[in-house]
Structure 1
Amino acid sequence: MGESLYHHLDWLHGIELFEAAFSTQTFSKHAHEGFAIGAIAEGVGGYLCRGETMALPTGSLSLMNPEEPHTGYAATPWLRYNMLYASEAAICSVLQLRSLRGFSTVAPKDRGRAISKGLSALASALHAQKSRDWHLRVEEAVYDVLSQSFVRYGNAHLPPTGREPRAISTLKERIFAGVAVGEDLSLSSLAEGVGLSASYLIRATRRQTGLTPHGLVLWARIEQAHRLLLREIPAAEAAYMAGFYDQSHMIRQYRRHYGVTPGAVIRHS
């Protein structure tokens, strides 16, 4: 059934992710120094908070403000959830906000399961440490969870993005050049290279291209792998040279992009 894991992101303001999986674990009344953002992935969780006993079925969110006392337990034989912990300073830094209003609702329904998916994506990213651009992928996943949570449930207003054609063009050039030489790209270096904040860069890139910076990096790696395969470089070697975790990772991404596996590409001369 899996085991509980606790991730501490030392380089990213000490933000943490708890992958909880248990049946008998209980938590006595306690509080967290920072915000806690969680989503029930399987089973039903329960706790006492704000004088009310609550049951949180699969698909529910748990949104705790700092220093909010609560208990916690599994209300079903098996419970699995993901919970992100972050200080107000960390969140303001990631989202480029001056302050936070906090959450008014403790256990809202996760509309469209957006935050559940975001937390799952973060957990998946944290288990892919051997892949290049790992920090970039994790940073974007954290940004996604925080921005969705505070815009939807914390009355946060992120600065609007304008069109940034020059910055996005420079970003693409920087990414393709970095991929070509095997560079491990980070969000901070990409943002610094175009003179934008990391938060703004993610939103502006998505608005103009439909992809995040990590999405552009992945696209560049797929194109690099395609060129190598056309030169009859073996698939395993092409995957490594293009910066993929392994051959199977490259094949999955290649198929999503081209609609076929590398083995189905016929080179005519």
Structure 2
Amino acid sequence: MTGRNRYHHLGWHHGIELFEAAFSTQTFGRHAHEGFAIGAIAEGAGGYVCRGESMVLPAGSLSLMNPEEPHTGHAVAGQVRYNMLYASETAVRDLLGLRHLHGFPAIAPQDRGLALTRALAALARHLGSGITVDHRVVVEEAVHDVLAQAFSHYGRAELRPAGREPAAARLIRARIAAGVEAGETLSLAQLADEAGLNVSYLIRSVKRATGLTPHAHILQARLDQARRMLLDGMPAAEAAIAAGFCDQAHLIRQFRRHYGVTPGALIRH
């Protein structure tokens, strides 16, 4: 019996893939992946034969495999549910700005605090949430979160420590505000290039300096623009599109989340 298996291929983002697996009787014969495989068991228990050892991975376990590492796969009992990200060595080096990549020494460590499990679930949620104007930025930040956690905590990678970078943070916020006002589609690569920073370092440093990721700043800028338009008397449906939201419903959801009220609750005096 197969559950809700879904496979996402990000052709626009280094060919990274995410497998959302939910099955009870499906098995995988001995195989290997060209790049790294980074997964987390969310429910049930998965089974592997890898590195000459038969192992059971209960919920809360990670599955971390290096390129070309042969293994099998199956559900041990009942349904197993997990998310697995696949990324080439080149993609990992480029996205994290790493010169040295050691790989994972342990196949099935416990996920400390379930942080990586949550990061993979967040990526799956973003991929399944539908296309929005900033969809790629959201997904790229989620991919970065998975890779940064996996390789810094379990792969002995030394990421460049995030600096406060106040000048870069100011530049990014100003660039985002101008881009939103001009109706541009913003990208992390573009923002990082203009700031002269690696994308990974940009995400971590902007968050350290401001408490928000670049996408959170983009969303805030869109909400600020929509709010100004609404106060000027523009109908919500028109303000939503003008500010870069998919539709009025999208604006209403985000408006309520950030301001605690719907656009209709704005009172002009």
TM-score, L = length of structure 2: 0.93
Residue 47 (structure 2) aligns with: 46
Contact 2:6 2:21 in 1 (8 A): yes
Gaps of 5+ in 1: none
Residue 16 (structure 1) aligns with: 17
Q: Which region of structure 1 is more displaced relative to structure 2, 243-252 or 30-39?
A: 243-252
Deviations 1:144-200 (A, max 9, x none): 100000111011111123332222111111101111122111111111111111111
Contact 1:128 1:134 in 2 (8 A): no
Cα distance, 1:89 vs structure 2: 1.2
Distance, in Å, in 2 between the alignment partners of 1:217 and 1:265 is: 22
Contact 1:46 1:53 in 2 (8 A): yes
Cα distance, 1:113 vs structure 2: 1.7
Cα distance, 1:114 vs structure 2: 1.3
2:260 counterpart letter in structure 1: G
Pick closer, same or farther for the CA change 1:58–1:121 going to 2, 3 Å. same
1:97 counterpart letter in structure 2: L
Deviations 1:84-122 (A, max 9, x none): 011111100000001211111111121222111211221
Residue 108 (structure 1) aligns with: 109
Residue 72 (structure 1) aligns with: 73
Residue 174 (structure 1) aligns with: 175
Cα distance, 1:14 vs structure 2: 1.4
Distance, in Å, in 2 between the alignment partners of 1:83 and 1:248 is: 31
Pick closer, same or farther for the CA change 1:131–1:2 going to 2, 3 Å. farther
Residue 261 (structure 2) aligns with: 260
Q: Quote the RMSD (CA, aligned, Å).
A: 1.7
Distance, in Å, in 2 between the alignment partners of 1:18 and 1:245 is: 27
Q: Which region of structure 1 is more displaced relative to structure 2, 191-200 or 118-127?
A: 118-127
Cα distance, 1:74 vs structure 2: 1.3
1:223 counterpart letter in structure 2: D
- Identical amino acids, percent of aligned pairs: 63
Gaps of 5+ in 2: none
SS at match of 1:27: strand
Residue 249 (structure 1) aligns with: 250
Cα distance, 1:54 vs structure 2: 1.9
Residue 219 (structure 2) aligns with: 218
Distance, in Å, in 2 between the alignment partners of 1:84 and 1:154 is: 15
Q: Which region of structure 1 is more displaced relative to structure 2, 11-20 or 137-146?
A: 11-20
TM-score, L = length of structure 1: 0.93
The question of 1:142 aligning with 2:143 is answered: yes
SS at match of 1:38: strand
Deviations 1:66-91 (A, max 9, x none): 12221101123322211001111110
How many residues of Structure 1 are paired with residues of Structure 2 in the alignment?
Answer: 268
Distance, in Å, in 2 between the alignment partners of 1:100 and 1:137 is: 25
Distance, in Å, in 1 between the alignment partners of 2:139 and 2:237 is: 25
SS at match of 1:168: helix
Cα distance, 1:31 vs structure 2: 1.3
The question of 1:165 aligning with 2:183 is answered: no
Cα distance, 1:129 vs structure 2: 4.8
Residue 118 (structure 2) aligns with: 117
Q: Which region of structure 1 is more displaced relative to structure 2, 88-97 or 72-81?
A: 72-81
Residue 198 (structure 1) aligns with: 199
